[in-house]
Amino acid sequence: MTRIRVTWLAIRILWIQTWLWLDQGCNAVLLGLGGVFIAFATAEEQATCYADETLSAHAWRASRVRKPWAVRFLPVVDWMFRKQKRRLAVDHAAGRPVESHCERAFWAKKLRLGLPPEYR
pLDDT (tens, 9 = 90+) of the chain, 120 residues, equals 799 999 999 999 999 999 999 999 999 998 888 888 888 888 887 777 888 899 999 999 999 988 888 899 999 999 999 998 889 999 999 999 999 999 999 999 999 988 888 887
The amino acid sitting at 56 is: S
CA-to-CA distance for 118 and 107, rounded, in angstroms?
Answer: 19
Q: Give the torsion through C-alpha atoms of 6, 12, 14, 19, to 10 deg.
A: -170
Given this model, what pLDDT does residue 69 score?
87
Q: Would you list the domain boundaries of the chain?
A: 3-119
Going from the C-alpha of 87 to that of each of 11, 17, 47, 52, 75, the distances in angstroms are 23, 18, 27, 20, 20
